[in-house]
Amino acid sequence: MAKAKTKGARQGAARAKREPAPRASQSGKRREQILAAALEEFSARGFSTARLDDVARRAGVAKGTIYLYFRDKETLFQELVRAELSPVVAALEAAPLADLPMRVVAERLVELFVREIIATHRKNVIRLILTEGPRFPAVAEFYYREVVAHVIAVLRGLAQRAVERGELPNDSLVRFPQLLAAPGIVAIIWSGLFDRWAKLDAEAFMRAYLDLIFGKGRAV
Amino acid sequence: MAKAKTKGARQGAARAKREPAPRASQSGKRREQILAAALEEFSARGFSTARLDDVARRAGVAKGTIYLYFRDKETLFQELVRAELSPVVAALEAAPLADLPMRVVAERLVELFVREIIATHRKNVIRLILTEGPRFPAVAEFYYREVVAHVIAVLRGLAQRAVERGELPNDSLVRFPQLLAAPGIVAIIWSGLFDRWAKLDAEAFMRAYLDLIFGKGRAV
DNA sequence: TTTTACTGACTGACCGGTCAGTCAGTCTTC
DNA sequence: GAAGACTGACTGACCGGTCAGTCAGTAAAA
């Protein structure tokens, strides 16, 4: 109503300024632009502190456009998690690890984790879940169902088989498969908190863990 | 925080005058009431979502009173961390562990951690640091200097001695003392995120870790 | 009276979400 | 093939609620 007053002129000007006529329209391009921008902003400022105005600006889009693709801020976060992590979970479940010796399995897992998480922006997604999850049960539940539960199941299966083959001295890893993932989690947290004062080499850290629980100076 | 921008100068000057807290007021009772209330609110809602109005109400004081004892919300957080964790660090450093066998040392550490952190509201302080730290470098630095660095130093010393005594098969724990603490950290994170869907018995979890890296079915 | 401790209504910045309006491109019709 | 009608992706000013921090004033103690 009263809104239209100033609009016409300003908008026209803004429009004229835009370099190549936009209008690429089709394709989920927009959606991906927005997701990428959201990841950047959420990583840098945290979910609740990040401003959708900034996400929009970074995506090269107006704020309203975000709401054409996502119901609200929290849904945007959730879709971000799904888009980033589901493929990795699928890759893990598809990996043919079942019949390898446990130590080799563990090394493969470290490689996978470093390559797909630590070395990518996905570590920021994980960090976001760890830091924001407690306040967003919907996100935490989604993450638990779609990621954690699957990972735990895979790890438990591997540990179980290793115990049966006599490659592990006890059933600790069967009862608590989380133990296998703990250093990975800690590496991500550490880097978010303390890298400034004391860098932690995540890969060396995880390999040292393998040396600790499997060989190198120790008979199984 | 971000808010203080425009008013920064004026505010700083005015505040500086009475900054350290209102004189004596003997028995820092007020101060402690406020800290306790802040811990409750911050734990339940997170730092940025917690409202100082609620902290005040819970402490049974007016909002303005908080500002007589703490410069701003972030300082309140920082003081909370100091008040809760410094005593535990002191206790750790005072504990006579140096000459015990490593496995026994590790068990004592688990006991200490369970008794002083997991079983108390202090686990919420740790969780707060882990979740809010990335956005508050001042808090993260304080925590690193006053807590983490000390803990790491103690753990490293213990590991070093254990290696010299031949109680550890390699120097993993000397290079990365964080490995000893990893399950404790993970237990705290897990309980904040997933207890709803899958409870984790923190003590059993950490003891299983000890079984994994030290004996029970394994010769050192 | 003066000083100290405290109060709580108030201010102003901030931001998620909305929606009336725009316009590039496509379709329809002659 | 050109004019007019139509579409819907996109825009951004605006609204309403929230909340950290302020300060004029009150109460109590000294």
User: Mean pLDDT, to the nearest integer, of A160-169?
Assistant: 92
Tell me the shortest Cα–Cα distance from A95 to chain B, in angstroms: 25
Quote the Cα angle for A180-B157-B95, to 5°: 95
Instruction: Examine the pLDDT at A180 and tell me if it is beyond 90.
Output: yes
Helix B149-164 crosses helix B102-113 at what angle (to 10 degrees)? 160
What CA–CA distance (Å, rounded) separates B163 from B158?
A: 9
Of A129, A185, A209, the CB nearest to B179: A209
Chain A, window 12-71: residues with a beta carbon less than 8 angstroms from a chain B beta carbon: 45-46, 48-49
Rounded, the Å distance between the CA of A78 and C1' of C10 is 38
Which pair of structure tokens corresponds to residue A211?
């040396």
Confidence at A98, pLDDT banded by 50, 70, 90? confident
Q: Mean pLDDT, chain A, as a whole number?
A: 86
Interface test with A, best of B150, B171, B172 (most A CBs within 10 A): B172
* CB distance B61 to B83 below 8 Å: no
Nearest to B151 by CA among B129, B170, B121, B119: B129
pTM score: 0.86
Confidence at A5, pLDDT banded by 50, 70, 90? very low
- A12 or B79: whose pLDDT is higher? B79
Q: Who contacts B187 (Cβ-Cβ below 8 Å, separation ≥6)?
A: B118, B200, B202, B205, B206
Residue B218: predicted pLDDT = 60
Residue A193 in contact with partner chain B when CB distance is under 8 A = yes
Q: Please give residues of chain B from 117 to 176 whose alpha-adjacent beta carbon (CB) lies under 7 Å from any atom of strand C.
A: none
Q: What is the 3-state secondary structure (H, E, C) of chain A?
A: CCCHHHHHHHHHHHHHHCCCCCCCCCCCHHHHHHHHHHHHHHHHHCCCCCCHHHHHHHHCCCHHHHHHHCCCHHHHHHHHHHHHHHHHHHHHHHCCCCCCCHHHHHHHHHHHHHHHHHCCCHHHHHHHHHHHHHHCHHHHHHHHHHHHHHHHHHHHHHHHHHHHCCCCCCCHHHHCCHHHHHHHHHHHHHHHHHCCCCCCCHHHHHHHHHHHHCCCCCCC
- Burial (CB < 10 A; 0-12, 13-18, 19+), residue A11, is exposed
What CA–CA distance (Å, rounded) separates A202 from B101?
A: 29
User: Mean pLDDT, to the nearest integer, of A176-188?
Assistant: 98
Number of H helices, E strands in chain B: 12, 0
Q: Where are the alpha helices (DSSP H) in B144-201?
A: 149-164, 172-175, 178-193
Residue A199 in contact with partner chain B when CB distance is under 8 A = no
Nearest to B98 by CA among B149, B156, B161: B161
Residue A30: predicted pLDDT = 87
Q: Who contacts B160 (Cβ-Cβ below 8 Å, separation ≥6)?
A: B174
Rounded, the Å distance between the CA of B62 and C1' of C6 is 8
Residue A122: predicted pLDDT = 97
Residue A65: predicted pLDDT = 93
Residues of A whose CB is below 8 A from B145:
197
Contact B212 A173 (CB under 8 A): yes
Rounded, the Å distance between the CA of B58 and C1' of C9 is 19
Confidence at A217, pLDDT banded by 50, 70, 90? low
The predicted-structure confidence for A54-69, as pLDDT tens digits, reads as follows 999 999 999 999 999 9
Report the chain A residue with the minimal C-alpha distance to residue B214.
A213
What CA–CA distance (Å, rounded) separates A33 from A40?
A: 11
Q: Tell me the mean pLDDT per 10 residues along chain B, length 220.
A: 32 34 57 95 94 96 95 95 95 92 95 97 96 91 95 96 92 97 98 96 98 74
